[in-house]
Amino acid sequence: MAPSVHYHCPCLSNSTTPPPPHLPSSSYSFHPLHTLFFCEECDAVRCNRCVSVEVSTYYCPNCLFEVPSASVRAEKNRFYLFVHKMPCNVLTRRRCARNCFMCPNCRNTLSVVPSDPPESGDGRLAVPISTVGEPPFFLYCNHCRWDSAEVGITFEKPTGLAAQLQKFEDSAPDSLEFERLKDHFEPFIRASSLSSSTTSHAVAHPSSAAHSHHLHSNSITAAASAALARDIPGVGKYNPLARSTSSRGIGVSGRDRSVNKDEMAEYRSRVEIAKASVVGTGGGDADVEFMRHLENVSEVASLDQRWENSWVTSLQTSDLKPLRIPLHSKRSKRCPACTHILIKPEQKAQSVRYKIKLVAANYLPAITVALPHAQKALTEAAKRTLGKSTSAVEDDKTPATGMVAGKTYPFHLALTNPLYDPIQVRLSPQRLNISTAPSKDGPPEKARRPPFVISLPTSTFPIAAFAEAWEYDDDEDMFGVEEGDDFGIRGGAREKDGRSTRSKTVGVLEKRANVTIVGGEVVIGKEAQGNVKFNTLVSYTYRSDDPAPSESNDGDGPSIPQGNKPPEVKTFAFYTVIDLGPIIPREDSKSVPDV
Amino acid sequence: MEPPIIYSKAEFIETDTGNKVSRRATIAGPQNIILGGKTIISSGAIIRGDLRRTGPGHAVVISLGRYCLVGEGCVMRPPYKTYRGNFNYYPMKIGDHVHIGANSVVEAATIGNHVEIGKNCVIGKFTIIKDCAKIADNTIVPPNTVIPALALFSGSPGRFVEDLPESTQEMVEAQTKQYYTRFQPSER
Ligand SMILES: [Zn+2]
Ligand SMILES: [Zn+2]
Ligand SMILES: [Zn+2]
Ligand SMILES: [Zn+2]
């Protein structure tokens, strides 16, 4: 994998320091810059894990028809109410009500085809497309060749298939059971949403829309948990949204006041599950019988093929029915702390524009990392094989790009300033105290020795302001080919960084337009293992043109007024994790017993 | 930061609008093909501008926008169907900033702007790919598939995997421009 730089999002955590780079939690806290948002109000980075999300439009990914979210809610949406505690799941469970169906076998989109005799001879196209032909029509998969006639579903006309199929669907046992469940719970939901203080609401949710959503799902959850508490003695009130309340439930008697309040009539299912197994749904004798006479594994529908069903279904491939296509959604995103909107897409489903788009890339300098020795090896390999096919190049380029234990390598960080003001940047690599190969048995002093040491320029360095003219558009020559192979070293000699011994490698190497390239160096220990991966704090200051410090939040970027400096200079700091790639163990180190 | 991608100067023809077309590519029916400018046609690519709708006059069969890349060994072929008993080809329209990886076969009807198609893909007949979508390497997209904006598709058949980030357009635009800039002739 190529070397990478990821950015930290604290996700409202009180701790400002990120997890150490070699822990698995690191990858949950660090993200590529282009996936992050920036809240001007809070002056903070936000990520997809911490923003709150609201649906603005639903649309069908196949016919691209937009479904206003209001009408989606009004529709009777089958069985999906009870997965409400997982909002994302709900979003993908809304189905296209038009003529869009998925192949139950392979998930490709199905086409409507007439019963015309298929064209033969030229072998070009077995099934004509959009031909107005002979009824009956059926749904056909042009990927795996499944067709709905196989399962006895045909249509008199090629339009309004959804309505024609509705009859099938409404009489399905899962649909009937759901209707029954809904009828059962509806009075309770209505009653509970009337009283404002229905459920304990431990999760403070500032957005009003999200709030009502939670209230709604809470009442359903409460209903479900009340039923659960009654049916299974000893299981208390289960409330996934409020952990603090759930703790008191376990072990405590079900005679809790809140449970009594949630009490409702017992639900009797339409079909008794013990009887259902007889007719071949859900592992009864009928299924055993079917399996006994099995001749071909493909007669059994795979779990993947049955996954979409909310009900126990037949095991047989021959019983698979066409699936309605789940709707997709466009989503707005809000800051979890101050609820300001960070992302607001245009209403039109297929537009890629946004009314509001506060992405971190417009505020934070973009940092890319490269290993000159690896790049040089790649370029050499490309030159050798110039004109040959790409596959020939792949083989002989890999060896020289790695980093071997016990050696020292330079690396380059290119920082690009997105702001219209110049910035001053300081890089502070976090000290690594723990070995990347933690060993219980090894001598403690050895385990404590860092596997590698990073050198980066310690002083601040400038990056020029972004200017539209520097966009590449008509300035191809910007990519100086004349820089050649030695541009790193040459640049290093030009700029001195106080560290005279390392001046050729560590320091500011190059400045062009709004990009500054700095050189660093990694000294890898003889016994080192794992990746050269380290956290680095990046802080930058910039002068704001804004005369009034109180109104500093109108679009130029982050702003933390510094106490001891003039108010127009602001500082922002963020953590990154820089991964230079894996360390190749030395040949001779293999004799050392490995952990 | 990224090193230049060096090509043999003798191999490529550069047009007035900055298109770079390999002499090792097969451009059939060039009068029916439009390249928007700064678009690269790599060696071994086959573009079938000759497969045009029957009838007099000449018609645009395949059009590509600006900053596109047709990778090595790609086949670009207009879609066809038999409608009311008549066999015919239909034009293929591709927007700006569209990269198609090596050895992919494309028979789409339309591909929007800022679309990435990986290596070794098959994009079936009459496929519609909307803006900022991405097709992962080795994906088989069956005929008539619609791929919505900002969606990542992968697999065989190609299925929706996830929504792409809000900044995809800027990312792809920067990447395609950078690719064109890095694509430099050797001195030889
Ligand atoms: Zn976060
Ligand atoms: Zn649809
Ligand atoms: Zn199929
Ligand atoms: Zn905020």
User: For the packed helices A372-384 and A390-397, what is the interaxial angle rounded to 10 degrees?
Assistant: 140
Distances (CA, A) of B124 to A64, A96, A389, B48, B80: 19, 23, 25, 15, 11
- Cα–Cα distance measured from residue B101 to residue B121, given in angstroms and rounded to the nearest whole number: 8
Residues with Cβ within 8 Å of A170's Cβ and at least 6 positions away in sequence, in order, are: A176
Q: pLDDT digits over B107-151, tens only?
A: 999 999 999 999 999 999 999 999 999 999 999 999 999 999 999
Phi first, then psi: give them for residue A179, nearest 5 degrees.
-55, -40
**pLDDT by position in tens, chain A (length 595):** 689 999 999 998 888 788 888 888 888 999 999 999 999 999 999 999 999 999 888 999 999 998 876 555 544 443 333 333 333 333 335 778 788 999 988 999 999 888 865 554 444 444 545 555 778 889 999 999 999 988 888 888 888 888 888 777 777 777 787 788 888 888 877 777 666 443 444 344 444 444 444 444 555 556 666 665 555 555 544 444 444 443 343 444 444 444 445 567 788 877 766 666 655 556 677 778 888 888 888 888 877 777 766 666 677 777 788 888 888 999 999 999 999 999 999 989 899 999 999 999 999 999 999 998 888 887 777 777 665 554 444 444 445 678 999 999 999 999 999 999 899 999 999 876 554 444 444 444 444 567 899 999 989 999 999 886 655 444 444 443 333 333 333 333 333 344 444 456 889 999 998 999 999 999 998 888 889 999 999 999 987 655 444 444 444 444 444 455 455 788 999 999 999 999 998 765 444 444 4
- Say yes or no for a CB contact (<8 Å) between A109 and B145: yes
Please state the domain extents for chain B: 5-179
Distances (CA, A) of A476 to A60, A196, A485, B181: 41, 63, 19, 5
Q: Tokens 């160096």 — which residue?
A: A521
- Cα–Cα distance measured from residue A46 to residue A341, given in angstroms and rounded to the nearest whole number: 12
Contact in structure between A425 and A461 (CB atoms under 8 Å) = yes
Residues with Cβ within 8 Å of A420's Cβ and at least 6 positions away in sequence, in order, are: A465, A466, A467, A556
Query: Would you give the DSSP letter of residue A293?
Result: T
The answer to whether residue A195 neighbours chain B at the CB level (below 8 Å) is: no
Mutate to test the interface with B, among A347, A476, A487, A509 (most CBs of B within 10 A): A476
Q: Which residues have CB atoms below 5 A from the ion given as ligand 3?
A: A 103, 105-106, 108, 141, 143-144, 146
Residue bearing the bigger pLDDT, B86 or A79: B86
**CA-wise closest residue to B145 among A130, A306, A141, A322:** A141
Contact in structure between B141 and B153 (CB atoms under 8 Å) = yes
Distances (CA, A) of A6 to A29, A50, A141, B179: 9, 17, 42, 22
User: Which residues of chain A are within 8 Å of residue B149 when distances are taken between CB atoms?
Assistant: 349-352
pLDDT at A481: 35
Nearest residue on chain B to A488, judged by CA atoms?
Answer: B1
What tokens appear for B60 in the block?
């645009």
What tokens appear for B48 in the block?
């079938």
CA A449 and chain centroid, separation: 36
Contact in structure between A400 and B28 (CB atoms under 8 Å) = no
Nearest residue on chain B to A31, judged by CA atoms?
Answer: B165
Provide the 3-class DSSP secondary structure of residue A543: strand
Query: Would you give the DSSP letter of residue A143?
Result: T
- Cα–Cα distance measured from residue A222 to residue A199, given in angstroms and rounded to the nearest whole number: 8
pLDDT at A273: 64
ipTM confidence score: 0.91
Count Cβ atoms within 10 A of the Cβ of residue A260 and give its class: 0-12 exposed, 13-18 middle, 19 or more buried. Answer: exposed
Output the CA A157–ligand 2 centroid distance in Å.
18
pLDDT at A69: 66
Q: Where in chain A is the domain with CATH 2.60.40.10?
A: 366-589
Q: pLDDT digits over B48-77, tens only?
A: 999 988 877 668 999 999 999 999 999 999
- Cα–Cα distance measured from residue A139 to residue B174, given in angstroms and rounded to the nearest whole number: 42
Residues with Cβ within 8 Å of B58's Cβ and at least 6 positions away in sequence, in order, are: B31, B32, B52
Count Cβ atoms within 10 A of the Cβ of residue A193 and give its class: 0-12 exposed, 13-18 middle, 19 or more buried. Answer: middle
B5-179 CATH: 2.160.10.10
Residue B77: its H or E element: none
Mutate to test the interface with B, among A91, A373, A481 (most CBs of B within 10 A): A481
Output the CA A332–ligand 3 centroid distance in Å.
34
- First CA to last CA across chain A, in angstroms? 25
Question: How is A405-441 classified by DSSP, letter by letter?
Answer: TT-EEEEEEEEE--SSS-EEEEEEEPP--S-SS--SS
Helices first, then strands: H and E counts in chain A = 15, 23
Distances (CA, A) of B171 to A201, A316, A487, B65, B164: 41, 46, 27, 18, 11
User: Which residues of chain B are within 8 Å of residue A379 when distances are taken between CB atoms?
Assistant: 3-4, 6
CA B86 and chain centroid, separation: 27
- What is the average pLDDT across B15-36? 96
Residue A161: its H or E element: helix A161-170
pLDDT at A236: 47
Nearest-Å Rg of the Cα atoms of chain A is: 31
Report the topology of domain A366-589.
Immunoglobulin-like (2.60.40)
Residues of A numbered 140-179 whose beta carbons fall under 8 angstroms of chain B's beta carbons: which are they? 141-144
Query: Would you give the DSSP letter of residue A82?
Result: G
Distances (CA, A) of B143 to A177, B30, B100, B146, B157: 37, 26, 18, 9, 10
Q: Is this prediction's pTM over 0.90?
A: no
- Cα–Cα distance measured from residue B64 to residue B71, given in angstroms and rounded to the nearest whole number: 13
- Say yes or no for a CB contact (<8 Å) between B146 and A368: no
Phi first, then psi: give them for residue A378, nearest 5 degrees.
-65, -45
- Residue A65's region, left for phi above 0, alpha for psi from -120 to 50, else beta, is beta
Q: Hey, which residues does A524 pair with through a beta bridge?
A: A452
CA dihedral over A271, A274, A275, A281, signed as positive or negative? positive
Output the CA A103–ligand 2 centroid distance in Å.
14
